Amino acid sequence: MITQELFQMALNITDPWFVTNIDFNVENKKLDIYVDFKKGSTFSYKYIETKLYSSKLKKLVFIRNL
């Protein structure tokens, strides 16, 4: 749990967002960070506010060759 909090601070992930899981694969040099939001959170877009209760898993890929 402390690792998830560390990544939240490092990536500036704030409420209602939070890190749900971290998966690090040394062999493949791959780090997966899963982020979700608290159910019932209110989000605003332009002049519309809406409450969300569920989310779909989506994948954002960032590749950096070291």
Q: Answer yes or no: is 7 within a domain.
A: yes
Q: Residue 8's pLDDT band (boundaries 50, 70, 90)?
A: very high
Q: Answer yes or no: is 61 within a domain.
A: no
Residue of higher predicted confidence among 54 and 12: 12
Segment 16-60, tens digit of pLDDT: 999 999 999 999 888 889 998 888 888 888 888 888 777 777 776
Taking the C-alpha atoms of residue 13 and residue 7, their distance in angstroms, rounded to an integer, is 8
Q: Answer yes or no: is 59 within a domain.
A: no
CA angle, 48 as apex, 45 and 53 as ends, to 5°? 80
Domain count, the chain: 1
Q: Answer yes or no: is 10 within a domain.
A: yes
Q: Answer yes or no: is 66 within a domain.
A: no
Q: Find tokens 């979700």 and name the residue.
A: 36
Question: What tokens were used for 9?
Answer: 């601070």
Q: Answer yes or no: is 60 within a domain.
A: no
Q: Answer yes or no: is 64 within a domain.
A: no
Domain housing 47? 2-52
Question: What tokens were used for 39?
Answer: 């159910």
pTM: 0.71
Residue among 8, 3, 6 at smallest CA distance from 19: 8
Residue 65 has what pLDDT? 64
Q: Which residues are registered as beta bridge partners of 59?
A: none
